[in-house]
Amino acid sequence: MIISSLGQGLLWAPLAIGVFITFRILDIPDLTTEGSFPFGAAIAVSLMLKGQSAIVASLAGFLAGCVAGLITGILDTKLKIPSLLAGILTMTGLYSINMHIMGKSNVPLLNQKVLTEYLPEGWSLEVQTIVLGLLITVIVVGLLYMMFKTRLGLSLMATGNNKDMSAANGINTDGMIIFGYAISNGFIALSGALVAQSNGYADIGMGIGTIVIGLASVLVGEIFLRGHGILTRLIAMVVGAIIYRLLLTVAMSLGFPADDLKILSAIILIIVICVPIIQNRIRTKRQLKKYLEQMEEQDDESITSAASTEGILSRD
Amino acid sequence: MKVLQVQHLQKVFFPGTENERHVLKNINLQVNEGDFISVIGNNGAGKSTLLNTIAGTLNADAGEIDLANHNVSKKSVAYRSRWMSRVFQDPKMGTAGDLTVLQNLVLAQSHTHTINLKWYQKKGDIESYQQLLATLNMGLENFLNTQVKYLSGGQRQALSLLMATLSKPKLLLLDEHTAALDPKTSQEVMKITDQIVLREQLTTMMITHKMSDALKYGNRLVMIQDGQIKLDVKGTEKKNLKQEQLLAAFEA
């Protein structure tokens, strides 16, 4: 069970990383996710059915997601549509586009060679999935880590944190926001392409609830792995995606029917939003108590030392 | 040599409604190299609007703005930042709180306008940044890797000031940059401002509410009232200006 959640979690990790870029770096809850995830799946599966290799198809899925993000970005920055609505518009439009690409609501892969089959045949499917997932995660995290160490990445972080200050320092903030949307949705679509290959089909409904899954993974990751460094934060997203899968697998094994998984996702998200707040409150209280105790001890010491000097003086 | 030329600048808020307000009325202003201008005026006189229009946060409704011999009337804030820096009134506005002191300084150091994939952090830079921060006398040199949100308001504003002057701008805009600080810190930041402006010989426009600061600092004083420039004195005339004269001008 843990092994299979590990593999599946790694395939879902690019989704968590994509959501992290918009939600944490740009500070935008981007609903394009629900459209770009199945968009990546639809593009990848239909290209594979047309005879393209799984590698080309997955990369095409990534690029398709970038285009979806680009559109939301332009709606948000250039047309000044509120970001939440911009995401909903792209997501809604993508539903039709995905239907056109797939032709019907569910398209299975036939005998096409999926990415895991590029790995040695002797390995079990679970090992293949984990190795493939690890490989892709290392590439994605590595590329992003390097990007965030460049001036471009710094400008992206600054834009998300303080737009006025960024513009005053010569950063093209609209361009940065569009760029952020694009790569974020690229990774989300890549995740869709990977999950579709793992499932063996693309489905028009596979995007439903992905924003909740993505946000939950981001928050779970941040609960388990804290840190300010960008590398730690990216790895936390991967950890979050895996733990989230594990939670779902546990729920399924407890006998929850598949239809109930969506409400379960929502409940998990509510819990993980609340946990850090409570954690923080408890931590602050404990620190405060410690601090006050120390102050008291100091006071006591100064009183006793005063008393002892007094004693010495009186003896004299 | 002129750094900034503002001609026939007009700004009207909410035109055509009953809240219509004509805030800038045909403003003409030339700022020359080496000018350190204190801009004063009542609340609502239009001084902040003037500064925002020069910076590009607001677009002028009519008129021309030439900055370092470039017509920037319709250009973005980012474009104008090639020649101009700004310190905001709110210490939180001028710095990115989630980024470290070092990262903020790097952003301010080089205004790149194309996509730049160079590593932003270089070993040699750190020492020069520390030396720069040490000149502020606020102990900031020890907090290079601290997120800016953990600094005090005064430290944050001093950092904003350092950042705004790092790229040696042709024009420095100070928008009541000491107004949000307590009296003592406000004085310190004002002193640092004066030092930096004189040392780097920066052409500066400083909005201030404090008449004493306006009289004490700078070599030129501009008073704005009801959307127009009411008073513009420089040189020895500015030096000899008294608070009573200024107050009289306000009342007139």
Query: What is the structure's pLDDT at B245?
Result: 83
A36 token code pair: 């770009």
Angle between helices A230-253 and A2-20 (to 10 degrees): 130
Residues lower than pLDDT 70 in chain B: 111-117, 122-123, 252
B201 token code pair: 């010989």
Instruction: Please answer whether residues B189 and B88 qualify as being in contact, where contact means their C-beta atoms are separated by less than 8 angstroms.
Output: no
Which residue intervals of chain A are DSSP H helices? 2-20, 33-49, 54-77, 83-102, 125-148, 151-161, 163-168, 173-199, 210-224, 230-253, 261-315
Choosing among 3.30.565.10, 3.40.50.620, 3.40.50.300, 3.40.50.10860, the CATH entry for B2-251 is 3.40.50.300
User: How much is the ipTM here?
Assistant: 0.87
Average of pLDDT values for A4-24? 94
Query: What is the structure's pLDDT at A154?
Result: 92
Inter-chain Cβ pairs, chain A and chain B, closer than 8 A: 80
B150 token code pair: 């953990």
Query: What is the structure's pLDDT at A79?
Result: 96
d(CA A147, CA A187): 14
CB-CB neighbors (< 8 A) of A152 in chain B: 115-117
Distant-in-sequence contacts of B131-136, Cβ < 8 A, 24+ apart = B132/B105, B132/B162, B132/B166, B133/B101, B133/B159, B133/B162, B136/B162, B136/B192
Cβ of B118 and A151 within 8 Å?
yes
d(CA B7, CA A218): 52
Q: Any bridge partners for residue B65, and if so which?
A: B6
pTM metric for this prediction: 0.88
Query: What is the structure's pLDDT at B39?
Result: 93
**Partner A contacted by B51 (CB < 8 A):** no
Give the Å distances, CA to CA, from B193 to B167, B189, B206: 15, 6, 10
Nearest-by-Cβ selection for A154 from B97, B107, B113: B107
Exposed, middle or buried, A257 (CB in 10 Å: 0-12/13-18/19+)? exposed
**For residue A136, what pLDDT band results from cuts at 50, 70 and 90?**
very high
| Cα nearest neighbour of A157 on chain B | B99
Q: Which residues contact B115 (CB under 8 A, 6 or more apart)?
A: A152
CB-CB neighbors (< 8 A) of B112 in chain A: 151, 170
Taking the CA of residue A283 and the nearest CA in chain B, the distance in Å comes to 18
Cβ of A150 and B106 within 8 Å?
no
The three-state secondary structure class of B140 is helix
Exposed, middle or buried, B131 (CB in 10 Å: 0-12/13-18/19+)? exposed
- Asked if pLDDT for residue A311 goes beyond 50, the answer is no
Distant-in-sequence contacts of B184-191, Cβ < 8 A, 24+ apart = B185/B152, B185/B153, B185/B154, B185/B157, B188/B154, B188/B158, B189/B154, B189/B157, B189/B158, B189/B161, B190/B217
- Radius of gyration in angstroms for the set of CA atoms belonging to chain A, rounded to a whole number: 25
Cβ of B95 and A162 within 8 Å?
yes
User: What's the pLDDT tens digit per position in A234-264?
Assistant: 999 999 999 999 988 888 888 888 788 888 8
Stretch 136-155 of chain B: residues touching chain A, C-beta under 8 Å: 147
Query: What is the structure's pLDDT at A315?
Result: 43
Query: Which is it for strands B204-207 and B220-225: parallel, antiparallel or unpaired?
Result: unpaired
| Cα nearest neighbour of A164 on chain B | B93
Query: What is the structure's pLDDT at A264?
Result: 87
Cβ of A154 and B103 within 8 Å?
yes
| Cα nearest neighbour of B109 on chain A | A169
Average pLDDT of chain A?
90
Query: Which is it for strands B36-41 and B204-207: parallel, antiparallel or unpaired?
Result: parallel
- Using a CB–CB cut-off of 8 Å, the residues of A that contact B are 149-155, 157-158, 161-162, 164-173, 228
Average of pLDDT values for A45-66? 95
Distant-in-sequence contacts of B149-157, Cβ < 8 A, 24+ apart = B149/B97, B149/B98, B151/B101, B152/B185, B153/B91, B153/B180, B153/B181, B153/B185, B154/B91, B154/B181, B154/B182, B154/B185, B154/B188, B154/B189, B156/B91, B156/B92, B156/B94, B156/B95, B157/B87, B157/B91, B157/B94, B157/B181, B157/B185, B157/B189
**For residue A201, what pLDDT band results from cuts at 50, 70 and 90?**
very high
Nearest-by-Cβ selection for B120 from A149, A166, A170: A149
A292 token code pair: 């006050």
- Asked if pLDDT for residue A307 goes beyond 90, the answer is no
d(CA A165, CA A111): 54
CB-CB neighbors (< 8 A) of B147 in chain A: 228
Q: Which residue has the higher pLDDT, A232 or B244?
A: A232
A267 token code pair: 């409940």
B43 token code pair: 């609340």
Query: What is the structure's pLDDT at B222?
Result: 93
Average of pLDDT values for A52-78? 96
When scoring B84, B98, B114 by the number of chain A Cβ atoms within 10 A, the one with the most, hence best to mutate, is B98
Cβ of A161 and B96 within 8 Å?
yes
Query: What is the structure's pLDDT at A178?
Result: 97
Cβ of A154 and B120 within 8 Å?
yes
Q: Which residue has the higher pLDDT, A170 or A303?
A: A170
Cβ of B81 and A167 within 8 Å?
yes
| Cα nearest neighbour of A24 on chain B | B98
User: What's the pLDDT tens digit per position in A139-167?
Assistant: 999 999 999 999 899 999 999 999 999 99
**Partner A contacted by B157 (CB < 8 A):** no
CB-CB neighbors (< 8 A) of A182 in chain B: none
| Cα nearest neighbour of A151 on chain B | B120
